[in-house]
Copies of this chain bind each other. A is one copy, B any other.
Amino acid sequence: MAFLATLYILECDDGSRKLKMKIGVAQINSTVGDLEGNLQIASSAYAKLVSEGSELVIFPELALCGYPPRDLLLKKSFGDDCSLSLESFARETGPFPALIGFPEKRTSDEGRPFHNSVALCRQGKIQQVFRKRLLPTYDVFDEDRYFAPGRLPMCFTHLGKKIGVTICEDLWFRGGLHGEDPLDEICRERPDLLVNLSASPWHLGKMKTRLALLRSVASRTQAQLAYVNLVGGNDELIFDGSSIFLNQQGLVVQKLVSFAETTLVFDLDEDSSLKTIVETDDYESVHKALMLGLGDYARKSGFKKAIIGLSGGIDSAVTATLAVQALGKENVIGISLPSAISSEHSKDDALALARNLGIEFHTLPIEKIVNSADSLLAPLFQGLPPDVTEENVQARARGLLLMALSNKFGALLLTTGNKSELAVGYCTLYGDMCGGLAVLSDLPKSQVFALAKHLNRSSEVIPQNTILKPPSAELRPNQMDSDSLPDYDLLDAILHEYVENGASIRELIGSGFEESTVRRIVELVDRNEYKRKQAAPGLKITPLAFGIGRRMPIVQKYSN
């Protein structure tokens, strides 16, 4: 249909080139490894977008296999099955082309098994392939493990216009992290439109970083820019979508919704100087991100129901509220597991929360189990003072009961610990750490409070007392978190510097934190690596989460 092209070439008054082309954006939610399901989603999205007038349809990076496929790429049949899936997709395409991400099996038996590629599909065929050049290996990424960098041309012509194709990291030269900058070649090619297919996980602050980068890319290449990002939760990672168009001046002219699957037809000829306001990240983003991550983890792994131990504290209250919003109140079960030590307000607050949420609620007092265990252990423990052992027995009795309910009812147990606790090991392995998904494990305690207030912004869902009372694990009489830990604002400030920024003890002390506090916190973080090794996967919402993006040795003796 190249004859259409001449009709569409326009010149603007200001001399800058203006494109007339309708771009269809398929911001889809792929499931990792679900080749059949993803193919159906992609084919439907293509058909819909073309029927709505799209002349070019763009999907995210690796849309056909989901991101990140990780070691599925090392399975012998995966490459061929992905190729078949791509061919099926291509057969659905008509005169208007689609750009779709797929893992391209390399023909050579040598080296990495794949390229991270994009196929240009049109008229039933794969017409051209583009290969990712910059392969990230920082944070959660392992692309050099699977992919060889591309060397193919980066442009194609459609409707008389030159279109450059890049894949995610290709735009992120990051000041020399990679040996070459693909944008140098893009600039030489002078494309009219630059497309980027991404699978870019979200974290707080990502939108700002991403926008700054995209603006500079658009300005530098003097091309309109279409950034198409994956949406959905896959294990720890939450992809926000937030696909976006920028004009040659780097102004945002359109943005798709964040944290939801959607499609959009965008006419590049529309006033390309229109400024679209892009909201900055805040607790509403955190809220949406966690709902999406939780909902997708359950849905994609086949769980309809979730179960949560309700302590009356803020972490379990926030987790339960998110679960209700993601899965529906009829699919969430709250369990109160009081001990002899539990305060009345804990039981009351748990009940009040369950009533506010309208969820199924049961109470299982753990006293008998704890007493059985204690009396069984008494002869062996004779003469030894009570210590953390007895506290852990309580937490593990709760874990045992919650897992029994999870097993019997086929409900996903959600673990409720926050990032601060997980950092310093203020949690019991096989106790309150039990669960299939850690919803808040990347949210520092001080931010859990902020999120709780946000969830309560229109009406009180989380009981006010839960938010106001001082945090306590209630594992010994009158225990308070503040007995063992500094104030959470101080703790979180130290943890942010130590865990996320890699600051040394020297630097922490130098920046004004009290030395003994710093040394105590650092020692706790280091010593508890073994707990995190066995933690449930947690939803990543900061630049550095515990999990696949933080790879610390467990047994190690560096402390600085």
Given contacts A534-B534, A552-B70, A557-B37, contact A75 B502 (CB under 8 A): yes
Q: How many copies are assembled?
A: 2
A367 CB to nearest chain B CB (Å):
9
Chain A, residues 329-373, CB within 8 Å of chain B (1/0): the string is 000000000000000000000000000000000101100110111
The answer on a CB contact under 8 Å between A396 and B389 is no
Cβ contact of A377, chosen from B31, B33, B138, B404, cutoff 8 A: B404
Residues of B within 8 A of A397 (CB): 400
Given contacts A70-B553, A430-B430, contact A362 B380 (CB under 8 A): yes
The answer on a CB contact under 8 Å between A66 and B376 is no
Residues of B within 8 A of A387 (CB): 407-408
The answer on a CB contact under 8 Å between B396 and A373 is no
Given contacts A71-B551, A362-B380, contact A33 B138 (CB under 8 A): no
Given contacts A175-B110, A504-B77, A530-B436, contact A558 B377 (CB under 8 A): no
Residues of B within 8 A of A401 (CB): 373, 376-377
Q: Considering the chains assembled together, what is the distance between the CA atoms of A3 and B409 in angstroms?
A: 81
A234 CB to nearest chain B CB (Å):
7
Residues of B within 8 A of A555 (CB): 31-32, 234-235, 297, 300-301
The answer on a CB contact under 8 Å between A396 and B400 is yes
CB-based nearest B residue for A72: B558
The answer on a CB contact under 8 Å between A76 and B373 is no
Residues of B within 8 A of A557 (CB): 31-34, 37, 300
Q: Does A251 contact B (CB under 8 A)?
A: no
Which A residues from 139 to 176 make CB contacts under 8 A with B?
Answer: 142, 144-145, 174-176
Which A residues from 162 to 202 make CB contacts under 8 A with B?
Answer: 174-178
CB-based nearest B residue for A381: B408
Chain A, residues 521-560, CB within 8 Å of chain B (1/0): the string is 0000000001001111100000000001011111111111
CB-based nearest B residue for A233: B555
Chain A, residues 30-43, CB within 8 Å of chain B (1/0): the string is 01111101000000
The answer on a CB contact under 8 Å between A504 and B400 is no
A364 CB to nearest chain B CB (Å):
5
Cβ contact of A177, chosen from B66, B110, B552, cutoff 8 A: B110
Which A residues from 67 to 106 make CB contacts under 8 A with B?
Answer: 68-72, 74-78, 81
Q: Does A257 contact B (CB under 8 A)?
A: no
The answer on a CB contact under 8 Å between A556 and B373 is no
Given contacts A377-B364, A404-B373, A407-B389, contact A70 B551 (CB under 8 A): yes
Report which residue of A380, A506, A550 has the largest number of chain B beta carbons within 10 angstroms of its beta carbon: A380
Residues of B within 8 A of A530 (CB): 301, 436, 537
Residues of B within 8 A of A4 (CB): none
Q: Considering the chains assembled together, what is the distance between the CA atoms of A384 and B537 in angstroms?
A: 30
Q: Does A478 contact B (CB under 8 A)?
A: no
Q: Does A472 contact B (CB under 8 A)?
A: no
CB-based nearest B residue for A384: B408
Q: Considering the chains assembled together, what is the distance between the CA atoms of A235 and B555 in angstroms?
A: 6
A235 CB to nearest chain B CB (Å):
5
Cβ contact of A536, chosen from B108, B377, B501, B534, cutoff 8 A: B534
Q: Does A388 contact B (CB under 8 A)?
A: yes
Q: Considering the chains assembled together, what is the distance between the CA atoms of A553 and B400 in angstroms?
A: 26
Report which residue of A66, A403, A556 has the largest number of chain B beta carbons within 10 angstroms of its beta carbon: A556
Given contacts A300-B557, A553-B72, contact A373 B369 (CB under 8 A): yes
Given contacts A77-B506, A389-B408, A397-B400, contact A554 B142 (CB under 8 A): no
The answer on a CB contact under 8 Å between A552 and B137 is no
Residues of B within 8 A of A66 (CB): 556
Chain A, residues 438-480, CB within 8 Å of chain B (1/0): the string is 0000000000000000000000000000000000000000000
Q: Does A207 contact B (CB under 8 A)?
A: no
Residues of B within 8 A of A404 (CB): 373, 377, 389, 392-393, 396
Residues of B within 8 A of A550 (CB): 71
Cβ contact of A111, chosen from B177, B364, B371, B392, cutoff 8 A: B177
CB-based nearest B residue for A406: B389
Residues of B within 8 A of A427 (CB): none
Residues of B within 8 A of A70 (CB): 551-553
Q: Does A25 contact B (CB under 8 A)?
A: no
A481 CB to nearest chain B CB (Å):
20
The answer on a CB contact under 8 Å between B35 and A558 is yes
Q: Which 5 A-B pairs have the closest CB atoms?
A: A33-B558, A110-B176, A77-B504, A33-B556, A34-B557
Known interface pairs A72-B556, A77-B504; 13 further A-B residue pairs with C-beta atoms within 8 A, sorted by A's residue number: A33-B553, A37-B557, A69-B553, A71-B550, A76-B507, A81-B560, A138-B145, A142-B142, A368-B375, A369-B376, A384-B408, A387-B407, A396-B403
